[in-house]
Amino acid sequence: MRTLTCIHIAYAASFAAAVPQAPVDDGCASLVTGDSHVVSASRIAIDKLAEIPTVAAQNPAISNTKPLCRVVGQIPYGENNTLNFEVWLPESEGYNQRYLSVGNGGFAGTIDYQAMVSNLNAGFAVGGCDSGHSASENGPSKPGGYVPFLNSYAQTAAWIRDSIAMFSVPAIDITSSFYDCQPKKTYYSGCSTGGAQGYALAQYHPEIFDGIVAGSAGNWYTHLILSFLWNGLHANRPGAFLDQDVLNLARAAAVKHCDLNDGVADGVIDNPTECDFDIASLLCQPNQTPMQDNKTVCISEAQLSTFRSIYSGPGADVYPGFAKGSEAEWLVQEEELYTAYAVPILQNLVFTNLSYDYTTFDFERDVKLVDEIAGPLITATSPRLDAFLARGSKLIATQGWADPYNAPTWPIDQHNDAKAIYGEQQLNAFWRLFMVPGGGHCGSAASYPSAPGAWHSLEALVEWVEEGKPPDYVLATGPADGTNTTRKLCPYPSRAALLEGEDAGRFESYTCEA
């Protein structure tokens, strides 16, 4: 029996509970001969993905709740480069008639199987890729480390800018072949580097997707890494490092000072830009010791300077700083990000010198060089998305206020630039930004376990694309503390206001207002 034709899919789905599962047929295997990009295609029964070594290596507990056709493909590009991708196609009875591509994280080099299975289980035909290079060939991501893909123009351009488009076009064709019809709509969802890939799709490849979710996006990647460098260098001056106890002290003080700004005592700062907490209030007084009973109670002048440097960032023309209330998340900025991302990009891509002394980077002189060399390859920041708008496509962006990687006001700056071009009404018709109080990087922040960490952006996007209903809010659920707290995330610049007398732990108790 061949996979169901387009006209029959909706019928089959509506009676899925009553109709026995379709028998295995050759519709999957025939994809190998039907597309030059397909290397293999095989049926995978329910809960059998974990038996595939490459999939299990990423997550041994991975579980598919639907049977599927697993397609493995390759796309040659440039000179001797290969992009590896997979497409997972649920049996027709479990297919929602939509195709979704997922993005990558960090320096990529692997397919995000967890994102794929989550969306497969929700009914999507879903595809993912390794972004055009293999993580096993990335090389050591540290000072002096040779990172091969950053020494290849084609692979660097594929990483953020082009790889999703490169594989998604054939992946959509494969999906159409399997079901004997085009998906009714095509979507993309990614976070972090994947969020940057989402913006790159809207800017450079606007013809592919009906809807894009771009979460915690590092789309100003050239300047994002410079913020890493700025923060790392300032924190590692003599006596200036902020250990976790110091960071926790600052975060607790900021929250105590600004928690009630929104009228809700929930241990979360709703809008940190309106928080007037002064870090200097924690400065040690003369003869005061910074530690009492093994707890930090005040900070030194050198630490005060580090706090101010991270709050301010390297400057408005380079990258903004971090928000009040996010301090407990900063350790990764001080210890890891500048050596793992900024330095490899500077040494391999910008200066092409593995001995380049990154401590000599001149934020007045060298930023222009970074923009000229790396900008066209790894940055997608244009606020003008005319072709994406003309196609009728929609974009939802999300950003956590306590994101430990991305300074949170950059997406606001970009959104305001777009509003200056399109006006508020036209911008809201195709591009909406949702800021997340207490939100971290692509989910929960460790210091805000009570804040909901699952943001239902894709569900809101599907409704917007298919029913023409702009999202008045995005539902947030699933706090890390295991409670049932839910919240409304409101489209910027509106915010959630608690209705008088209502339960602060339920999203229905809030209204979005300017």
Report which DSSP code applies to 453: E
- Give the pLDDT confidence of 467-487 residue by residue, as tens digits: 999 999 999 999 999 999 999
Report which DSSP code applies to 170: H
- Give the pLDDT confidence of 112-136 residue by residue, as tens digits: 999 999 999 999 999 999 999 999 9
Average pLDDT over residues 159-169: 98
Residue 435, strand partner residues: 399
Instruction: Show Cβ contacts of residue 372 under 8 Å, excluding neighbours closer than 6 positions.
Output: none
Q: What is the pLDDT of residue 62?
A: 96
CATH architecture of 30-221+378-513: 3-Layer(aba) Sandwich (3.40)
**Domain boundary assignment for the chain:** 30-221+378-513, 225-374
Instruction: Decide if pLDDT at 13 tops 50.
Output: no
- Give the pLDDT confidence of 424-452 residue by residue, as tens digits: 999 999 999 999 999 999 999 999 999 99
- Give the pLDDT confidence of 135-152 residue by residue, as tens digits: 998 878 899 999 999 999
Q: What is the pLDDT of residue 189?
A: 98
Under DSSP, is residue 77 helix (H, G, I), strand (E, B) or coil? strand
Average pLDDT over residues 331-354: 98
Q: What is the pLDDT of residue 139?
A: 78
Rounded Cα distance between 356 and 388, Å, is 40
Q: What is the pLDDT of residue 20?
A: 36
Average pLDDT over residues 155-163: 98
What pTM does this model have?
A: 0.94
Rounded Cα distance between 485 and 440, Å, is 16
Q: What is the DSSP string of 173-212?
A: HHHHHHHTS--SEEEEEEETHHHHHHHHHHHH-TTS-SEE
User: Is the omega angle on the peptide bond into residue 320 within 30 degrees of 0, that is, cis?
Assistant: no
Counting Cα atoms < 13 Å in the Cβ hemisphere of 454 gives 13
Q: In what order do the strands lie in the sheet with 98-102?
A: 38-44, 68-77, 81-90, 125-129, 98-102, 185-191, 211-215, 394-400, 431-436
Tokens at 433, concatenated: 């930004």
Considering the chain, what is the average pLDDT of its residues?
A: 94
Answer for the pair 164, 103: CB distance below 8 angstroms, yes or no: yes
Amino acid at 432: R
